[in-house]
Amino acid sequence: MPYSLYIHLPFCRKKCHYCGFNSITGGNDSIGAYAKAASCEIYMRSHGIFDGKPGSVYIGGGTPSLVPVEAIKIILEKNLPVSGIECSIEANPESVEDSWLKNILTLGINRISIGIQSLDDVLLNRLGRIHNASQARESVYKARHAGFNNISVDLIFGVPGQTMDMWTRTLRDVIDLKPDHISCYSLSIEEDSKYFEMIHNKKIQLPTSDDISDMYIFMYDFLEMNGLKNYEISNFARPGYECFHNISYWNFSPYLGIGLSAHSFDGTIRRWNESDIKRYIKTCFDSNDPVAGYEIPDQAEKTMEFIMLSLRTKNGLSMNRLNKTYPSKCAEFDIKITSLIASGFLEKRHGNIVRLTKNGIIIADEIITEVVSVFQ
């Protein structure tokens, strides 16, 4: 089974208010050393299931568009053949330069995911983003002009103070940009973020769960109507532009994570990397494994994760695969799933595939929790 490869580039200009990722501000001096360390890590870990060419590569962050092409080249070219596979990179509007885009294409990177988040200046400011709506539009035009034929944009909804009108306008404006793929996530409040503290001190208020559901339903219908088909709860694509890298995660395929705090899973062991950049670089330069921890999930945990990931997708959950993986729970699953089908939250396709209905998608977390409760 081919593995997918994730490379984390953690550098950002400023921390966004909602950010809970491992991103570093003011760390530009370390970029060169970090790239060399990441290249060493790829070399060290390219064996066993992670030997040879990956099925897809995703360079995420942080803000990869802050990283010079030469540094990305160090990571990709030394040990990694990327030709002929989906190779994505994330970018943020304020740092997307024409020359960077053109040069990044020459490395074999063929898909770009731009974190525009909103096309409303008030909300962008409220999110603590450092770009404005006009830079967001411009970044998509620039990527297209540079030669990217596969452009994704990220959006956030459920932002404090966001109204349905604001959300509708952003969606309409985004469609005018003609992206091939859109990822839309409802704002989640991470413990390490500035928002967490602001909510705790009652300085900001999130929209209600009903408002968030309304925003989701409007988005779902609107994007589908405009040719972007839903293929995972938060992801929409023009036919043929679904993200292969994400699909392989949801299919529970092995993945190798390179870089700071990156996670990997080889089908048996789940592990995560060092989160301190200085220690990460030194450990890799000393030819040591930058692992910070690992766990070996048991069959029940792996099955729960497989269910959770599969049910998020339009392809749904294969009951055949589930029953083979965990035969002792077959009867219990059947009862649970039959009852959720009767309630209109799940539907069956082709005899053995179960997936969320539109009503189920709106309360997906509750439905998935209900299905995996078989293990509790």
Q: Does 194 bind ligand SF4 (CB under 6 A)?
A: no
To the nearest whole angstrom, how small is the minimum distance from the Cβ of residue 94 to ligand SF4? 9
For residue 83, give the DSSP letter. T
Judge residue 134's burial from the number of C-beta atoms within 10 Å of its C-beta, 0-12 exposed, 13-18 middle, 19 or more buried: exposed
Of 322, 316, 324, 375, whose CA–CA distance to 350 is shortest?
316
Q: Does 195 bind ligand SF4 (CB under 6 A)?
A: no
Q: Does 277 bind ligand SF4 (CB under 6 A)?
A: no
Piece of 34-42, 61-69, 299-307, 324-332 that binds ligand SF4 (CB under 6 A): 61-69
Q: Does 19 bind ligand SF4 (CB under 6 A)?
A: yes
Return the sign of the alpha-carbon dihedral for residues 56, 57, 62, 66. negative
Q: 194 to each of 126, 262, 326, how far by Cα in Å?
A: 11, 23, 42
**For ligand SF4, which is the closer residue by CB, 85 or 151?**
151
Q: Does 259 bind ligand SF4 (CB under 6 A)?
A: no
To the nearest whole angstrom, how small is the minimum distance from the Cβ of residue 360 to ligand SF4? 29
Q: How many CA atoms lie within 13 A of 329 on its CB side?
A: 21
To the nearest whole angstrom, how small is the minimum distance from the Cβ of residue 82 to ligand SF4? 23
To the nearest whole angstrom, how small is the minimum distance from the Cβ of residue 183 to ligand SF4? 13
Query: Which tokens sit at 5?
Result: 């490869």
Q: Which of 62, 64, 257, 316 binds ligand SF4 (CB under 6 A)?
A: 62
To the nearest whole angstrom, how small is the minimum distance from the Cβ of residue 62 to ligand SF4? 5
Q: Does 116 bind ligand SF4 (CB under 6 A)?
A: no
Q: Does 7 bind ligand SF4 (CB under 6 A)?
A: no
> Which single residue is written with the structure tokens 């082709």?
350
CA angle centred on 263, ends 257 and 269, rounded to 5°: 105
Q: Which of 92, 113, 230, 273 binds ligand SF4 (CB under 6 A)?
A: 92
DSSP 285-343: HTT---EEEEE---HHHHHHHHHHHHHTBTT-EEHHHHHHH-GGGHHHHHHHHHHHHHT
Q: Answer for the pair 270, 295: CB distance below 8 angstroms, yes or no.
A: yes
Piece of 13-21, 209-217, 269-277, 364-372 that binds ligand SF4 (CB under 6 A): 13-21
To the nearest whole angstrom, how small is the minimum distance from the Cβ of residue 191 to ligand SF4? 14
To the nearest whole angstrom, how small is the minimum distance from the Cβ of residue 236 to ligand SF4? 20
**For ligand SF4, which is the closer residue by CB, 23 or 234?**
23
Task: Give contact residues for ligand SF4 (rule: CB under 6 A).
Answer: 12, 15-16, 19, 21, 23, 61-63, 92
